[in-house]
Structure 1
Amino acid sequence: MNDDARIQAALARASEAVAKGPHSTPADGRPRKRRLVMGDPQADVGRVLAILAHHDALGDDGWLRPDVRLVSVGDHFDWGKPHERESGALSALSLVAWLAAHPADQVVMILGNHDLGRVGELEGFTDATFAQAQAEADRAYQGGHTDEAVEREFLARWPRVPTAELVARDFGNFREVQRTWVEHLLRTRRFRTAYAAGPGLLVLHAGVTNEDLDVAGLERARRADAGAVADALNATVDAAVDAWTRGPLVVPGLHRPGDAASGEGVGIFYHRPSLKPEDAGRVRETPRRRFDPRRLPAGLTQVVGHTRDKRNRELLGFSTAEARDGVVRHLVTDGARVHYAHGAPPPPRPEEAVLVFTDGGMRECPVEQYELFDLDTRAAAR
């Protein structure tokens, strides 16, 4: 069977998974020989599947090959232009349903800020009220620019969101059924905050610093232990989910959704490394939207998504002329120096902290150029 046939089979399985309604397949305990990380899948489900097929990860039956474990680093929703909103909403749900229909130990679903937006900033919306709010947001946010006067009127009517741009663009493909799926996957522990992939190797959406791990209550001596870090973060978020009964989901100290009164959402699912002087005051406390990469825990390699190459370079002070989509990148710091480059990182020293970036702009990058990250070779998958 060729790749096109495999993709069509997978699309059929995805449609079946959506029709079945919110569900999650339990672990089956089978060994997996290949462990791959997929950067933010904010693209049509067919393109996502084509990338997996290109990496020989799809089987003839429309599921992942039995020997493949896939870690999706979050942000499964929201992409495209306004005219693609309806198709994008269905596509994203199809992808989430297809991923969740795999055994829990074959597909690890990591939470991103766009996933949490369904139970955060958008928690109180119905399809009807969101459509009304989005029509108003479209009048305030056009062509990448916000009319501040129109936005003030918008926020007076919709105080649960921080900006018109969020409704018009950032979380623009929302549908109520997505929230139902996200809540189910949170409560059944299928959506994870972090995944320990090996000694000193952690996968999560946007990375954590020592300040974030202070909030999670993890002692300093254990912060190079990926298992301990994952357990601490997952336990903190799981406790917040268990305590959550109504309103936006908040994780004290680690995640606060945005609203008109407090501004944009903050915390470990939103933040990006920054060395810009104007961010110096914004990186010292948590939750936040920027962090100082020199505060990453030494001895730990974190594999993340969330930030593309050009944005990394802007925030870290590197030339944007060399920015590329599709490629794995890395940041290495010893607590003083910060090095950023394309490719997989060199073997880390005990005093160094490492970030591996996997968000390659899936929607804009040619399928054959989009790299997955191999957790066993610690390099781009071949």
Structure 2
Amino acid sequence: MPRLATPLSELQIRKAKPAEKAYFLADGNGLRLLVSPAGRKSWVVRYRLPNGSRPAPATIGHYPEMSLAEARINAVEVQRDAKKGKSTAGIRKAQQEVEAAASAELEAAAQQLAEVERVSFRAVSGRWMAEKRPTWAMETYRKARLVVDAYLVPKLGGLDMRQLETKHVRPVLVEMAKSTPQLARKARQYLGSIVDHAINEGLRSDESRLRLDRILPAYRSGHMPAVTDNDAKLGEVMRAIDVYPNRVVRAALILAALTAMRSGVVASARWEEIDLKAGEWRIPGMNPDGTNRMKTGQDFSTSLPEQALMVLREMRERNMGGEYVFPPQGRQNSPHLSRDTLSKALREMGFQGEHTTHGFRASLRTLGRERLGIDVDVLESQLAHAPKDEVEAAYARVKFREKRREVMQQWADYLDKLRTGDILMGVS
């Protein structure tokens, strides 16, 4: 049996002196006197609830305001009421103290979890993408989102960016390189940039960059497939496009071939950008949401040869007041045609590994120079490649505007002849 406490006396209570730490004097039957370091003496009683549990003791009064005899009576009442499930002032106060302590503990735990999440790779990479997005073209953002969300976050998401080391990311990159070597290189690039973002946020020191240069095995990356040295094959591509059953996709591919604009720009073309009378397509450098439309972020315009105007007029006749030239197809969720649909169409035509939508840019760059004798600077201007400086960019836009109109009609006529076979048959 537990040892019973010797009942207190008024003399003991009066003589009780404060100590460095609070201490209890037991009176028995659950009643104790708590003496604080400041000398305050409080009556505390332990009790049981109907379910048999023992919550935190209840403070029922203070000495000498409440005498020993009164404390014993109140203690019995509290214990009796608690056993019956009644809530008295002492019990309520004890419960409030327990709840307050539990709430404070939960809040502290929540703050700790929030801090752990704030410095995690998942959170830092998310903030990095949000900061970069306004400066990226949509396709650049899409690729970064794919690499980060599908490959990096599942493996590194919970790691503390303050403690991230090369040994943590190396296995992830090496594993990616086995199946997707090009994405692995993008992942390495993104990781370096994410670490720099963490440094800028003050989570890492300036000299804490990762050693990523020699992690990946040697790999010879290639350019996107493009027909650049075979007139017959390019003519085959143009004939396949000409008979492709989906009118919207066919028209978009023709526009991409005739203007050599990037596939994402073509797929998202708006009618407000197209001037059919002037034969001009004026492309804003930025999207309405502030992200890059053109890769350089600069406004751009290209002339539209007669063949391009023909397919655009056809799309205008089919259009029912929509914002975009090429509406989405099938179950696409985007407001306009997906750029991936164009590449998929060329694969369906049998040109996988030989030619892509982006490949028309390489075709113009090479064949335009070799077959048509177009000046390199004019070709670079048409491809909207970023000049070395802003002065040169402005000069090129002014200098080559009319020349580009001439050469793009020349390019369209050349593709027409390849499509009909006139060049191969020697017909002028």
TM-score, normalised relative to structure 2 = 0.26
Greater strand proportion = 1
Q: Taking CA–CA contacts closer than 8 Å with sequence separation of 6 or more, which of the two structures ends up with the larger relative contact order? A: 1
Larger radius of gyration: 2
Greater helix proportion = 2
TM-score, normalised relative to structure 1 = 0.28
